[in-house]
Amino acid sequence: MSDLKRTPLFALNTELGGKMVPFAGYDMPVQFPAGIMKEHLHTRAAAGLFDVSHMGQAWLHLDAKGGHDEIAAALETLVPGEIKALKPGQIRYTLLLNDEGGIRDDFMVSRPAALEKAGTLFLVVNAATKDADFAHIAASLKGKAKLERLEDRALIALQGPKAAAVLERIVPGVAAMSFMTIATFTWERAELFVSRSGYTGEDGYEISVPGAMAVAFARVLLSDPAVAPIGLGARDSLRLEAGLCLYGHDIDEQTTPVEAGLTWAIGKRRKLEKGFPGADKIIDQLFNGAKRVRVGIKPEGRAPAREGAEIVDASGAPAGRITSGGFGPTVNGPIAMGYVRADLANDGTSLSLIVRGQKLPARVVPMPFVPKRFHKP
C-alpha cells in the first residue's frame, strides 16, 4: 500500500470521508459517505466534483520553429483524428494507436487559444497508461516534438447541470465557453486551464490547477451547496450510462476504433490520406466491416451482468463478452456494453448473458443509456 502515489487532493479526499482504494497506482476515493448511488444521482441533478489528478497532463511542443500545422502533423502520425483542423481553443477526443490498429489509449488533445502557445498541444491521457503513452509519444516524435509532463498540476472535474453556474461564480467567463473548448483563466493568481468537457454525459468542466492550489480551489467549489465530492465508483456508472469506453476494459491494444464503434474519431481527411498506425487494417474494416463490434446491452431482468460475462446468441452459440456492466442508477436498472459478432450488432437483437451459470435474456440497444446533456451555445 505504501508505494501508492497520492494526488494533491489526497488529504482532502480522506478528510471528506473518501473510501480509498488503489487505482492505477494511486490511492483514490472509490466513494464518499453518501455512496455511489447518491453520488451518481447528485451529479445528474446538480454538480459533482471529481479528483482526476491521476490522469496524465502534458504539453507537446514542436522542436523547431513552426505553428499548429507542424505540431498537428507530428501528432497525426500516431492518431487517426483530425488534429490539423483544430481551431484555437478547440479540444478533440482521439486515439493513440499501435501498428496493428489497436488502441494504446484514448485521450483528449487541445489546441491552446493563446498565440504564444502556437506549435504546442495540450494532452490529457489515462492514468494507467500515462507512462507508456508519454514514452511512446516521446520516442515516436523524437527530433520533431518534445513532451513536457505537467506533474505539478492537479485535474478537477466539475460535472452536472449546475456546473456552469457554480464555476462561473468563481471563475467568471467560463459559462460562455462552448462544449469541447479550452481556455486559460486566473484564479487567486493561479493559472487554470479550463476545458468544457467531461466523461459523464453531462455538461461540465475539467480544470487543470497548480497542485499547490488544488485543495483551496476544490474547497471553494465544495462550499457551493450544489457541489458534492464524487468517487471513482460513480464516475464509472456515469460514464457507462453515457455509453463511453473505459480504457483497459472496453478498449485495449487488441481492439480497433472500428470494432469499438469509435469511427467518428477518425477524421474524414485521415481516411483518405491514411498515414496513421494500422491505417490499412482500419480502412479495410471501415469498408468491409469488423468481425466483432461494441454494442450497448440491456439485460431484461433486474440482475446486472458484469465485465467478463459471456454473451451467447439465440441458438446458444458464443457471441462475445461483456466489457463493462453494472447497475445504472439513472436508468434504474442493469446496463452493459460488450463486443458481439457483427451479425448480432443490430439494435433489438436478442442475446443471452451467462451469469452464474444461468442465461439472462438481454437485447442490443443504442447508446447512450441516458441522453447526453452537453452544453450547446
Partner 1 sequence: MTTKYTKDHEWVRVDGSVATVGITAYAAEQLGDVVFVELPAVGRVVEKGGDAAVVESVKAASEVYAPISGEVVEVNTALTDEPAKVNAEPTGAGWFMKLKMKNATDLTDLMSEDEYQAYVKGL
* Binding interface with partner 1 (CB under 8 A): 30-31, 35-38, 40, 233-234, 236-237, 302-304, 306, 326-327, 329, 334, 356
**Beta-ladder partners of 194:** 183, 207
d(CA 288, CA 308): 28
Q: Report the residue number, 133 or 202, with the smaller CB distance to partner 1.
A: 202
SS3 labels along 44-98 = HHCEEEEECCCCEEEEEEECCCCCHHHHHHHHHCCCCCCCCCCCCCEEEEEEEEC
List CB contacts of 115: < 8 A, sequence separation 6 or more.
Answer: none
Nearest-CA neighbor of 276 among 64, 120, 56, 72? 72
Q: How far is the CB of 357 from partner 1 (least distance, A)?
A: 11
240, 331 in Cβ contact below 8 A?
no
d(CA 217, CA 220): 5
Q: Report the residue number, 66 or 368, with the smaller CB distance to partner 1.
A: 368
Q: How far is the CB of 92 from partner 1 (least distance, A)?
A: 31
Q: How far is the CB of 35 from partner 1 (least distance, A)?
A: 5
Q: Report the residue number, 36 or 182, with the smaller CB distance to partner 1.
A: 36
Nearest-CA neighbor of 136 among 75, 64, 69? 75
One-letter amino acid for residue 248 of the chain: G
Q: How far is the CB of 234 from partner 1 (least distance, A)?
A: 8
Nearest-CA neighbor of 53 among 19, 84, 13, 81? 13
Q: How far is the CB of 232 from partner 1 (least distance, A)?
A: 9
Q: Report the residue number, 56 or 328, with the smaller CB distance to partner 1.
A: 328
Q: How far is the CB of 304 from partner 1 (least distance, A)?
A: 6
Q: Report the residue number, 83 or 305, with the smaller CB distance to partner 1.
A: 305
Q: Report the residue number, 57 or 324, with the smaller CB distance to partner 1.
A: 324
